[in-house]
Chain A
Amino acid sequence: MQIIVCIKQVPDTTNIKINPETNTLIREGVECIVNPFDMYAIEEAIRLKERCGGKITALTMGPPQAESALREALSLGVDEAVLISNRAFAGSDTWATSFTLASAIRKIGHYDIILCGKQAIDGDTAQVGPGVAAHLNIPQITFVKKIEEVTDRSIRAERMMEEGFQILESPLPVLLTVVKEINEPRLPSLRGKMKARKADIPVWGPEDIDVGGDQIGLNGSPTYVAKIFAPERKGSGKIFRGDAEEAVDQLIHELRSGKLI
């Protein structure tokens, strides 16, 4: 079983605070982490390998420092990692990103299952996974909460929907995006960390994966960010303190006059 996991390094929003005066992010000291949803994808890849054998390759596109995300994946049990990094890729939107990842996957060659987190927590688009599947023209199962069965030719998985779930069957190769419910990611072992530290991570640029021009980076991106602004915050609401009974009365009064209850 040849498994590919696509991951992304993102700023750790756990540590992001908002400056209440300026309504901007306080970014000092914010660390970069592996996108949390991708941790479930890595874990599922390792579980698949434990069940079926094979090899896992982790792939990321990003700046040079994204290498540390790949080392983390290696420490958890991923076998190989590739960093796609070059200034030519900067400014990629989801079209260009999925095109670039798909091109790198084609270069890797053989693959049975491609795993992605359902979305990254910085952009929250959930578009790159299905985009990669479309570029490779392979089937996809999005929002997977459970892999029920896997053979060397097919897979059966549960896709989470708003009101329940669908059970889907697909031949391989297939691309899956996974949700939090699918597993509980493990922690790296000491041996894994040692291995990850020493691992050789190749860096691929545009010429390595045979892409360029108007298909990658900002030039290859159909969308363009015209404006970024701080959201309106509600804030400075009415806060009732002191006697609980009085506070509750005041709250009920407000909610009733607002016809909310």
Chain B
Amino acid sequence: MSIRVIEEKCNGCRLCVRACPFGEISVEEKLAVIGDGCTLCGACVPACKFGAIEIEVERAKKIDLSQYSGVWIVAEQRRGKLQSVTFELLGVGKELAGRRASELSAILMGHRMAAAAGELIAGGADSVYLIDSPEFEHYQDEPYSRVLSRLINKWKPEIVLAGATAIGRSLIPRVAVMVRTGLTADCTGLSIGDDGHLLQTRPAFGGNIMATILTPRHRPQMATVRHKVMKAAPPDPARQGNVINVEVKESDRFTRAKVVDLVEEKEKTVNIAEADLIVSGGRGLQAPENFALLEELALALGGAIGASRAAVDAGWIPYSHQVGQTGKTVQPKLYIACGISGAIQHLVGMQTSDVIVAINKDPYAPIFQVATYGIVGDLFEVIPLLVNKLRRR
């Protein structure tokens, strides 16, 4: 640990105090003092105009970064069907591979997946590493992480990306530990810096700050990528690519935790994390039966139903509809917040939606600060009007 304030250079100007996202710097007698809660995030270093703060890192044994090349994406299949996040990964992976003048490969684990390998090539992959075996039909942490780690150690890709889904966020942290490299969760931006490193940008602190993270001394650079942020390339069925069949060893199949059943939950509305249009309700709805109003609006617009934590905690609607910090993060094209005041925990789950409409009777509700359009009014008057007019078109 080594952050220090160079006393001769510090004049107590407080620029660093403002820059510190953790509130750990104070100025005492015209000298910056760094608190015990410092996470060494480094935000203060460039903020200081006098070069008075420095962080020293004892560089670990350097690995030879030049041995590593190529961009890999981990394809995600469920019940044999490739998930849409996979094509988004191919889209961003292709761009990154182009910037690095290298190839894009997809890792596909499953059973009877040859056709899916073709889809990956059409979606932009130059090569597909195919692990095709009955034991790999459904995602299981141990066999998947073991095989992926082995392939990484053997082929040494420079970048490995996976979806920030339940599967991706279980698999990839295990693999990053096994291959001893850095991992950035839930990225919303990926690009290549001037020095060739992967710049991984993600929301942190509940979406209140954005952080750009580097893995400067380890390879591969690994990241999970938030669904519905990156753009998939249009499929090109004429594209050619290699399919590399990976031999599955007996030891690869071993697993302690076993999947014994898969239960799909049929809900009357679509999965909100996937929806392009969400109508969401909060405490302002006042009673569970008033969610019927939202259902009418959702039906008129062809959208899904979301809810704030207040509505879920009151028992008005199941947890699977909850948007926000302890619920789901959504990013629809249109998000309509009805009777939701907009506590920060809710905003972090929806503020990256393309267009936000807020309907609330309190003109000072924080939801209006993130709204593209807002109506200050009584939702019991506004929503029925909206439904009627939409139906009449």
Contact = CB atoms under 8 A, between A and B. Distances in A.
Given A169-B258, A218-B57, A142 B166 contact: yes
B3 to A, nearest CB: 8
B183 A94 contact: yes
A240 B374 contact: yes
A13 to B, nearest CB: 5
Interface stretch (A52-60, A74-82, A105-113, A253-261): A253-261
Given A140-B174, A228-B43, 15 more contacts: A25-B208, A98-B173, A125-B186, A126-B169, A127-B173, A141-B257, A156-B260, A180-B326, A222-B181, A223-B182, A228-B212, A234-B351, A241-B375, A247-B377, A248-B386
A171 interface: yes
Interface stretch (A14-22, A41-49, A196-204): A14-22
Given A27-B23, A134-B174, A223 B184 contact: yes
B200 to A, nearest CB: 8
Contacts of A94: 173, 176, 183, 185
B261 A167 contact: yes
Contacts of A131: 173-174, 176-177
Counting chain A residues whose Cβ lies within 8 A of the other chain, the interface size class is: 35 or more
B256 interface: yes
A20 B364 CA distance: 13
B374 A238 contact: yes
A25 B203 CA distance: 14
Contact of B345 (A13, A93, A226, A227): A13
B290 to A, nearest CB: 17
Contacts of B263: 158, 164-167
Contact of A228 (B21, B36, B58, B369): B21
29 contacts: A13-B325, A16-B344, A18-B208, A25-B208, A36-B326, A87-B1, A90-B1, A91-B39, A94-B173, A122-B206, A129-B173, A164-B262, A171-B256, A180-B326, A222-B217, A225-B41, A225-B212, A227-B43, A228-B19, A228-B43, A231-B351, A233-B351, A237-B372, A237-B374, A238-B374, A239-B375, A251-B373, A260-B334, A260-B355
B210 A229 contact: yes
Contacts of A228: 19, 21, 41, 43, 204, 209-212
B55 interface: yes
Contacts of B385: 244-245, 248
Contacts of B181: 95, 222
Q: Name B's interface SS.
A: mixed
Given A20-B369, A231-B207, A254-B373, A221 B257 contact: no
B149 to A, nearest CB: 9
Interface string B210-242: 111111111000000000000000000000000
Interface string B350-380: 0100011100000100001111111111100
Interface string A82-118: 0000011111011100110000000000000000000
Nearest to B24: A63
Contacts of A234: 351, 356, 370-372
B371 A239 contact: yes
B30 interface: no
A142 B326 CA distance: 15
Interface string A208-235: 0000001001111111111111110111
Contacts of A93: 182
A133 interface: yes
A244 B359 CA distance: 11
Interface in B259-275: 259-265, 271, 273-274
Interface in B151-205: 165-167, 169-170, 172-178, 180-186, 199, 203-205
A220 B213 CA distance: 15
Contacts of A141: 257
Given A143-B166, A224-B215, A122 B18 contact: no
B326 A224 contact: no
Interface in A158-172: 158-171
B372 A238 contact: yes
A91 B2 CA distance: 10
A254 to B, nearest CB: 6
B37 interface: yes
A18 B206 CA distance: 12
A64 interface: yes
Nearest to B140: A168
A24 interface: yes
A128 B170 CA distance: 10
B60 interface: yes
A220 B42 CA distance: 16
Nearest to A240: B375
B343 interface: yes
Q: What are the 9 tightest A-B residue pairs by CB atom distance, in nearest-first order?
A: A222-B182, A91-B40, A170-B257, A223-B182, A134-B177, A130-B173, A125-B185, A139-B257, A214-B60
A49 to B, nearest CB: 22
B180 A168 contact: no
A29 to B, nearest CB: 10
Contact of B40 (A158, A218, A235): A218
A65 interface: yes
Contacts of B372: 234, 237-238
A140 B42 CA distance: 33
Given A229-B210, A238-B372, A244-B382, A88 B1 contact: yes
Contacts of A252: 386, 389-390
Contacts of B357: 251, 255
A192 B294 CA distance: 44
